[in-house]
Structure 1
Amino acid sequence: MDFETKIYPQIGGYGRYNRMVTIFSWFPNFAVTLNLFCDVFYTLIPESYHCKPDPSLLPSGFLPSNFSKQAYLNFTIPWEEDGLSHCELYRYSNYSNVSAKISREKVPCTKGWEYAKPAGLDGNFVTEWNLVCGDYWKIPLQHICFMLGWILGYVLLGTICDWLGRRRALLMSVSLSGLLGVAVCVSNSPVAFLLLRLSQGAMLAGVFLSSHIARLELCDPPHRLMVSMVSVFFAVFAELLLPGLAVLCSDWPVLQAVATVPLLLLISYWCCASVFPESPRWLLATGQIPQAKRALQTFCVRNGACLNVELFPAETLLSEIDSVYGDETEAKYHSVLELRHSRIIWRNGLILGLTLFIGTGIQYCFTRNLHSYSSHFYFSYFLRVLTGALACVFLCLTVDRFGRRGILLLVAIGTGLSSLLLLALTQCKCSLPGALCTHSHTHSHTHTHTHSHTHSLTHSLTHSLTHSHTHTHTHTHTHSLTHSLTHSLSHTHTHTYTLKFTHTHTYIHTHTHTHTYIHTHTHTHTHTAALCAPKGSCILLRTWLCVCRAHLAVCVCRAHLAVCVQSAPGCVCAERTWLCVCTERTWLCVCTSHPFAILAVLFSQSHLGPVV
Structure 2
Amino acid sequence: MSLIIGPNLLYSVFYLCPHKANLNLLFRMKFENILEEIDGFGPFQIVILVLLCTPRIVLPCHFLLNNFIAAVPPHHCDVSTLDDGGLFSNLTYQQRLTVSVPLREDGDPQSCEMFAEPQFQLLSNSSDSSTERPTLQCPSGWVYDNSTFTSTLATEWDLVCGRKSLTKTTGTIFFFGVMMGAIAFGFLCDKYGRKNTLLASYIMAIVFGFSSAFANSYVLFAVLRFLTGFGLTGISINSIVLSIEWVDTGHRSFIGVIGSLAWSVGNMLLAGFAFLVNDWRTLIMTVTAPLLLAVLTWRWIPESARWLLANGKVERAQFYLDKCAKFNKRQKLSDKLKLETLSNIEMLEKQDRNYTYLDLIKTPRMRQLTLLTGIVWYGVASTYYGISLNISGFGLNMYLTHFIYAAIEVPAKLMIYCFLNIIGRRKCQAGTLLLTGICIAINIFIPKGQWHVRAVVAILGKGLSEASFTTIFLYTTELYPTVVRQNGLGYTSFMSRLGVSVAPLILLLEDVWIPLPQIIICSVATVSGLVALLLPETQNVRLPETIDDIEKPRKKDTSSNSVETSGVFPESKTTTDPQQQ
Q: In the alignment, which of 109, 113, 116 is matched to residue 142 of structure 2?
A: 113
Percent identity, aligned pairs only, is: 23
Cα distance in 2 for partners of 1:367, 1:31 equals 16
Q: In structure 2, the residue corresponding to 1:402 is in which secondary structure?
A: coil
Aligned to 2:367: 346
Please say if 1:357 is aligned against 2:378: yes
Aligned to 2:76: 50
Greater relative contact order (Cα < 8 A, sep 6+):
2
Q: In the alignment, which of 163, 174, 184 is matched to residue 135 of structure 1?
A: 163
Please say if 1:87 is aligned against 2:87: no
Kindly state the Cα deviation for residue 204 of structure 1 after the two structures are TM-superposed.
Answer: 0.8
Cα distance in 2 for partners of 1:418, 1:33 equals 23
Please say if 1:23 is aligned against 2:44: no
Q: In structure 1, the residue corresponding to 2:76 is in which secondary structure?
A: strand
Change beyond 3 A, Cα 1:170–1:54: same
Please say if 1:123 is aligned against 2:148: no
Q: In structure 2, the residue corresponding to 1:84 is in which secondary structure?
A: coil
Cα distance in 2 for partners of 1:94, 1:344 equals 72
Cα distance in 1 for partners of 2:156, 2:252 equals 45
Cα distance in 1 for partners of 2:402, 2:61 equals 14
Kindly state the Cα deviation for residue 130 of structure 1 after the two structures are TM-superposed.
Answer: 1.1
Q: Is the 8 A contact 1:7 1:317 kept in 2?
A: no
Give a deviation string over 1:564-612, Cα, whole Å, max 9, x none. Answer: xxxxxxxxxxxxxxxxxxxxxxxxxxxxxxxxxxxxxxxxxxxxxxxxx
Please say if 1:59 is aligned against 2:88: no
Please say if 1:144 is aligned against 2:172: yes
Normalized per residue, the structure richer in helix is: 2
Change beyond 3 A, Cα 1:27–1:78: same
Kindly state the Cα deviation for residue 91 of structure 1 after the two structures are TM-superposed.
Answer: 3.5
Cα distance in 2 for partners of 1:303, 1:232 equals 23
Q: Is the 8 A contact 1:4 1:220 kept in 2?
A: no
Provide TM-score, normalisation by structure 2: 0.66
Please say if 1:334 is aligned against 2:360: no
Give a deviation string over 1:491-534, Cα, whole Å, max 9, x none. Answer: xxxxxxxxxxxxxxxxxxxxxxxxxxxxxxxxxxxxxxxxxxxx
Q: Is the 8 A contact 1:33 1:239 kept in 2?
A: yes
Q: Is the 8 A contact 1:93 1:104 kept in 2?
A: no
Cα distance in 1 for partners of 2:434, 2:446 equals 18
Cα distance in 2 for partners of 1:70, 1:88 equals 16
Q: Is the 8 A contact 1:288 1:330 kept in 2?
A: no
Please say if 1:294 is aligned against 2:319: yes
Change beyond 3 A, Cα 1:115–1:375: farther
Give a deviation string over 1:265-313, Cα, whole Å, max 9, x none. Answer: 212145x3xx21111100111122232232223223333222375xx6x
Kindly state the Cα deviation for residue 163 of structure 1 after the two structures are TM-superposed.
Answer: 0.9
Change beyond 3 A, Cα 1:105–1:303: same
- Alignment map for 1:95-110 (pairs within 5 Å): 105-110=134-139
Aligned to 1:550: none
What residue identity is the alignment partner of 1:172? A
Q: Is the 8 A contact 1:34 1:259 kept in 2?
A: yes
Kindly state the Cα deviation for residue 136 of structure 1 after the two structures are TM-superposed.
Answer: 0.9
Please say if 1:69 is aligned against 2:93: yes
Cα distance in 2 for partners of 1:381, 1:396 equals 23
What residue identity is the alignment partner of 1:85? Q
Give a deviation string over 1:414-444, Cα, whole Å, max 9, x none. Answer: 1222232233347x8899xxxxxxxxxxxxx
Q: Is the 8 A contact 1:30 1:235 kept in 2?
A: yes
Aligned to 1:193: 221
* Farther-moved stretch of structure 1 (152-161 vs 78-87): 78-87
Change beyond 3 A, Cα 1:317–1:145: same
Q: In the alignment, which of 403, 415, 418 is matched to residue 382 of structure 1?
A: 403
* Farther-moved stretch of structure 1 (332-341 vs 73-82): 332-341
What residue identity is the alignment partner of 1:72? R
Kindly state the Cα deviation for residue 237 of structure 1 after the two structures are TM-superposed.
Answer: 1.3
Q: In structure 1, the residue corresponding to 2:136 is in which secondary structure?
A: strand
What residue identity is the alignment partner of 2:413? C
Kindly state the Cα deviation for residue 317 of structure 1 after the two structures are TM-superposed.
Answer: 5.0
Aligned to 1:237: 265
Cα distance in 2 for partners of 1:3, 1:234 equals 30
* Farther-moved stretch of structure 1 (401-410 vs 190-199): 401-410
Aligned to 2:193: 165
- Structure with bigger gyration radius: 1
Report the count of equivalent residues: 417
What residue identity is the alignment partner of 1:227? I
Q: In the alignment, which of 415, 418, 433 is matched to residue 439 of structure 2?
A: 418
Kindly state the Cα deviation for residue 75 of structure 1 after the two structures are TM-superposed.
Answer: 0.9
Aligned to 1:223: 251
Cα distance in 2 for partners of 1:40, 1:182 equals 19
Kindly state the Cα deviation for residue 218 of structure 1 after the two structures are TM-superposed.
Answer: 0.8
Aligned to 2:328: 303
What residue identity is the alignment partner of 2:61? L
Q: Which 5+ residue runs of structure 1 have no aligned equivalent?
A: 432-537, 540-612
Give a deviation string over 1:48-83, Cα, whole Å, max 9, x none. Answer: 211110544x53141333x34322210121222232
Q: Is the 8 A contact 1:64 1:72 kept in 2?
A: no
Cα distance in 2 for partners of 1:30, 1:340 equals 34
Q: Which 5+ residue runs of structure 2 have no aligned equivalent?
A: 1-26, 452-513, 516-581
- Alignment map for 1:528-547 (pairs within 5 Å): none
Kindly state the Cα deviation for residue 133 of structure 1 after the two structures are TM-superposed.
Answer: 0.8
Q: Is the 8 A contact 1:53 1:76 kept in 2?
A: yes
Kindly state the Cα deviation for residue 89 of structure 1 after the two structures are TM-superposed.
Answer: 2.1
Q: Is the 8 A contact 2:275 2:399 kept in 1?
A: no
What residue identity is the alignment partner of 1:251? D
Cα distance in 2 for partners of 1:30, 1:45 equals 26
Cα distance in 2 for partners of 1:104, 1:423 equals 35
Kindly state the Cα deviation for residue 166 of structure 1 after the two structures are TM-superposed.
Answer: 0.3
Give a deviation string over 1:334-392, Cα, whole Å, max 9, x none. Answer: 22321323432432342233112112112222223341444522332223212322321
Q: Is the 8 A contact 2:177 2:228 kept in 1?
A: yes
Q: Is the 8 A contact 1:297 1:307 kept in 2?
A: yes
Cα distance in 2 for partners of 1:261, 1:382 equals 21
Provide TM-score, normalisation by structure 1: 0.63
Cα distance in 1 for partners of 2:119, 2:369 equals 73
Q: In the alignment, which of 339, 363, 368 is matched to residue 389 of structure 2?
A: 368
Q: Is the 8 A contact 1:145 1:194 kept in 2?
A: yes
Cα distance in 2 for partners of 1:118, 1:149 equals 32
Q: In the alignment, which of 283, 287, 292 is matched to residue 308 of structure 2?
A: 283
Please say if 1:402 is aligned against 2:423: yes
- Alignment map for 1:460-479 (pairs within 5 Å): none
Cα distance in 1 for partners of 2:101, 2:217 equals 29
What residue identity is the alignment partner of 2:104? E
Cα distance in 1 for partners of 2:400, 2:333 equals 60
Normalized per residue, the structure richer in strand is: 1
Cα distance in 2 for partners of 1:406, 1:325 equals 32
Aligned to 2:34: 7
- Alignment map for 1:204-219 (pairs within 5 Å): 204-219=232-247
